[in-house]
Structure formats: structure tokens, C-alpha cells
Structure 1
Amino acid sequence: MSDDGFFGKYGGKYVAEIMRRPLDELKEAFDFYMKDKDFLEELDTIRRDYIGRETPLYFAPTATKLLGGAQIYIKLEGLANTGAHKINNAIGQCLLAKRMGKTRIIAETGAGQHGVATAAACAKLGLECVVYMGEVDVRRQQPNVATMELYGAKVVPVTSGSRTLKDAVNEAMRDWATNFETTHYVLGSALGPAPFPDIVREFQSVIGREVKRQCAERNVDIAAMVACVGGGSNSIGFFEPFINEKSPRLIGAEAGGIGPGVGENASRMTGNASREGIVQGFKSRFLLDEDGQSLPTRSISAGLDYMGIGPQLAELGMSGRIEFTAILDKEALDAINFFARNEGILFAMESAHAGAAAMKLAPTLPKDKAIIINMSGRGDKDLFITNPVFRKEKWIDFLGAELERVKNSTDIHDAASMFNK
């Protein structure tokens, strides 16, 4: 873990004085409980019995044959309870908060998977849950909004700014500053002011540790590991056990959007608008204009369109330990199709960026080497995004018919009346 909250020149704790007490309290509790046998045993039990760990490492024979070159393996985090890697961090932080005596949890979410995971963790542990979500993301991720509410969470649409993840983070921070005596903020990615980057990496590192053990047991010779990178929670956890080793290659797939122009992507390490800056309490690389103001981002993936990247990932990228590549929306969609049709595995839109990067890399590597893709989540949540692309007319017909059914069904009206009494 970082001693001072910095990774090289990135990281830190650039916050108002009112935020220092909750952050210091959090660091003290985290340092204590990560050495506490009872806490760690309870966390391991929940991981096994509730999350469903360990998740499989799947060899993809058809994809390997079709792509040529390296063997393709997929770490199936989409099989974890709630459908993505986000539950690893959410459970860890919620359990930590409960040990700290907190009764209320707040979170931000973009694609909705972190919100779903936090809501589920709160339901499991008996904690109140409020999730801040940009109004744009609320509209495009309604299935996840419905799931959060089903778990008992209150979802608050954020209407300020660009109405996406950045603005949801701002609202959550404001709430925490006001209510920290009873409230813990479960930040969903490996960014923000210290100690959050360390906390999120530690709880997500279960992914990479499993991969390392699974590959050793099966004598898999890893040439490269590939993960999508938004803020960076799945990637830093996936890469963690390998960071201080010279191999394998670590490759981060960013959102290339529709092109290289400003406002067309969310490429913080490879984009031409990337600058160092201090935003939302930490120093890293962000998409900023010359005055240091955040630029608009674009991605078909709601989980990869944050304007910044976690500080440890930024440092590892600048040092060359992690290689970054930008994946276009179309390439991610092609990867969803490829793995669904050839392996029966439905990647989340975010994870498909990693799949697309692996598809490019595989033919360049020897057949006795392996590429491990972190499928950070499954694609059920993206049906409202992918269906208009893959089968537009049929989807329009379905939505129209479904709307009429909901309007006119007496069974639905009767059930709704009973539920709302």
C-alpha cells in the first residue's frame, strides 16, 4: 500500500478541511481491520458463500482457434453475484463501515453495476443505502436502476453538470462531508482522495490473486493480461499481483469512443486532450482544457466515460509497466458479438473493450502463450444499448408492444395496486 497516498507524483488527498477527518478515520479503520483475523475471516466467508468466489478461469477454445496465436482465457467476474466485479469492493467497504459503526451507505455509479453491488451489499448487511447516479446514466441504465430499488436503495438522479459519473461523485462527496458521523461513502473505483485508491485495489485484488493461482495450477504461461479501464477498479485488482514483476504484459483498454477528437472519447492515457490535474481530491491524468476545466467525454459504455483515471494506474502507465490502448465503440460491439457467438459468453460493454484489445493482440503472440481477459461483468445490463444496434427494428417492435401490454394489462395494474398499498 502507498505510505502517503501517492503513487509517484499521482494520488494524494487534496480536499477541504471538513473532509480530512472522515478520510483519516477511514484510513485508520482500514489499516486496523485489514490485519484483524475476525474481519478477514468474515470477509472470506462472504466472498465464498455470497459472492460465489472463486470465479472460473475459462479457456476459450473456439476464440483461440479463430484468432490464431495465443491461447485465450477469460476470468469470468460476470459470474459473481450481481453480475460484475463491483461486488468485491462493495462488500469489503460495507463490512468495514459496519465494523466502524456506520449505519448509512452512499455511493456513486455510472453504468449502474457499482450501485447494484452496493445496494445488494447493504441489503445483505442491513445498512441504509443511497446511490447517486447521473441523470443521463439513469435513463440509459434503467434495468440497473430498477435492481437497485428492488434491493431497497434510494437512487438519486444528479442533474448538474454533464449529468454523468463525474457529477454523481461530486454529489456523493457533498453528502459524505455533511453526514460522515453516521455515513460511509463507498467509492466504486480506484481513484479519489487517499485512502480510497488503496482500499479499492485491496478489495479487488482477489481477482488477480485467483488468476495467478489458477494459472499456476494449470501451467498456463501468461504473455499478457488485458482489462478495460475507466476509473480502474477491475484493472488494478486484476493486475495487482503482477505489478512488481517484469512479466506478463499488462494492457489497459480505454474507451476510444467514436474517434480521437476532443469530446469523442474517454482516453485519459492515450488521448490528445490528456493532462495532469487535481480533480475531485486527487492528482492524476484527466481530460481537461487549457484552463483545467473538465472536457466532455463520449463512450457507448456508461462505465468507461469518467474523465480521469486512478492515480496508481496513471503512474504505472507513465512508467511503462501498463500499456494503454484506445478501443472504439464499434470494436467493442464487434467483440460482444464475437465472444457471444463463439463462446456463449456475453461481455458487458465495458469488458468488451478488453475483449477487443485481446482480439487484436492474440495473432501477434505464440501459440504456447496465453492472454487472460478480465471479463469484469456480463452484458445483461446492456441489452437496452446493444439491441438498438444489433436488431433495431425488432427491438422497436418489442418496446412498442411491451409498452401497450404494461398500459393495458389488468394483472400488472392489480399487482401494482397491491404492492403500493
Structure 2
Amino acid sequence: MNSMERKLDAYAELVVRTGVNLQSGQTLFIQSSITAADFVHRVMRFAYQAGASYVHVDWQDETGTRIWYEMAPEEELAKRPDWMVRVYNQLLDQNAAFLYVLSPFLEDMDGIAPNRLDLGSDALYAATADVTNRLMNNEASWTVMAVATKPWADKVFPEIAEDKRVERLWETLFDVLGLNQENPLTVWEKRMKALAEKAAQLNKESFRFLHYKGPGIDLAVELPVSHRWLSGRLENKQGVFFTGNLPTEELYTTPLKRGVNGFFKGTKPFTFEGNVVTDFSLTFKNGEVVEIESMDGADELRRMLQFDEGARFAGEVALVPVHSPVARSGRLFYQPLLDENASCHIALGHAYSSALAAGQELTAQEREEAGINSSGVHYDLMIGSETLFVTGERWDGTMVPIFEKGDWANTFKGEDER
């Protein structure tokens, strides 16, 4: 077995053991592109070694999806089959684990009328809203991860020889995931422990406000009284720990829907429906985005903000130091799963109720009463830089430095970070 094969196996094992943390007798549901079949088969083998009772793969065909958007009657685009929702709910009821294998930039929707895309996405949101809430409330273990694809590698490494790009992207993924180190599972256990300790320290402070300052940002974020900081190590309703994103370097919480005021200029591009927006800024008043500026993506921003009422409000704030493994790669990945772990960010759209005390049990009405946002979308926008300062304001008005020049303030650094 060559080095590439060993690392792919290590990645698959990490997904099963650290990602969804599959338990003996559990079903694993995998959603993946058919182009990632080789990797998915590796995951299946490790899942059965871990004691899986059954592994079901929901294969996605990007070409078939495009044909559907191009040719299906519009009234059919606005529908989603009931059986899809029933299957998801049944799997959740049976305590299945969910793995989402991303294959970035394979889906090509260029030339398809925006209204047809909107019909399909709106129907999918309406059909799966309850299922999405159940997953976001951690009723089951779930993990999102990515595999290298040729279109993605072309975006990330345009300057190197075309036939070397996919291999370079794989090697970069292995590096940021710690798969080039000995005992990756142990590496991740230590990483998760360090993040959990920082989350506990932030939760002990119970800040009322976060203040973001620096060139291109002046933002005040009010937090719910019952907010709590979470790391990538989550706990499902059965008390099993899992890792929602691989990789993960963030600590995050939920802001008050009406509690964001100020402005920021994005520090990294983001993608929306396949379009890359590289230059943008947003202004908030009483939580709502009231002004946008963009040299190259104003139309995309407006469409994103118009998805529903909640798309104009924030649902997450997250802290990530500028020296994280993803940041050290020096690459823009054009994929939130990676880019959000290289930068502090704020997300527009749906809020994680799990970031409130006992929030997993909140109904839709209780979410509204708690003052957190609900939406059919969740878009991470990067605001971190080496010039960013973040200060926490306690309820008595005292200020505590959290981030200084894009890194943890000394108070929040572990012994090996000082």
C-alpha cells in the first residue's frame, strides 16, 4: 500500500471514529457524489469494522441533477417526494449516524434560469426543514467532510501543472487534517480537548457583548443570556460525542437576532450557488443587514439575502485564530468547510439552538422567544485577519480581551500556545 492509499484509509478511519464516532449496531447514512465512490467504499469498510449494522449510501449524480433542473416541468421542480422526508425521519428515530461527503465544484448550473434554481432550492428547504432542525439540534451524530475534485483543485492551485493539482489538493487536505502525523486519532483527541477547554473558559465569562475592531470592521454583537460556546466536539441526545466538521478549529455561539450592529468588510471570498464573491461589505442595524457593497457580487448578495426573512440576520459568530492549520496552508479553498476554519466568521441565516442552554429541546416558538434567528440558509462570511481585535463585555461593563491581532489573547491561550 503506497503513501496515498494509507492516508486515504486514515482519512476514512478518522471520519468513522472521530467524525460520526460510529457505535456498534448503528446504521450509517452516507450522502455522496458518485465520483467519490472509492473513498466512500473505504468509509464503508471502516464502518463495518466499527460494528455498523448497515451502511446506506445516497448516491448523488451532478449531471443528472443538472438535467432535472434543465428539463423537469416547473411544477415538479417545486416538489420534493414525501418518501425522502420519511426516510430521513425514520433514520433519525433509529439513531442512525449521518455522513455528508462534499465533492466541491462538480455541480455546474451555469445557464440555468435562476427562477428554476430557486424553485428547487425552496422546495428542498420546505420539505426538509424539520429534518434539518433535528440534525442541527444534534439529535443524531453527523459529520461533513470533503474529498478532492478536479474542478476544486483547479480553483485552489491554478499556478501549478494541471496534472498535479488534484494530488496537491489531497496532500493539503491530509496536512490540515493531521493525517501526515503519527496517530491522527490521538492528534484529534488532543485538538478537541484543547478547544473544549477554551469553550469552557468562554462560557465561564458569560459575556453580554462581543466587540470586533480593526481595519474594515466595527461590530457589536449582543449574546443571549443563556448562550454557550461550542467547539467542534458535539454531543448527541444519546450522550455520544462526535465531530460535526472535519476539519474544525472554531469556537462558536449564537447571537441575538436583533443584537448585531455595525459593519464589516469580508476578508475572504465566499461562494453562492457556484459564484465567487471576492469584494463585499455589510452593514447591520438592529440585527438586520441594511446595506451591502460589492464590486463583483452585488446581485449574488441580494439573492442570498432575499432567500427568506431570516437570511438578512446573523445566526452564528465564530472565533478562529489566524495560525490554525487551515490558515497556515496559505490557501483560499472557496469552500466554507475549509475557509471557516482559517478565519473568524459570522454566519447569516439559521442559528444553532444547541448554542443555548438546553437549546436542543427548543420548539420553533421557543426559538423566537429566545431571540435567535431561523432561516432556510446558513452562510459563513469571513471577517478574521491579523489586525482583528475581539473584546468581550461582561454584564458589569468590564472588558476582557479575547483576540488580539487575530490570535487568542494571553488569558485564553493554553500553556503550549504562550
TM class by shorter-chain length? under 0.3
More strand by share: 2
More helix by share: 1
Structure 1 length-normalised TM: 0.26
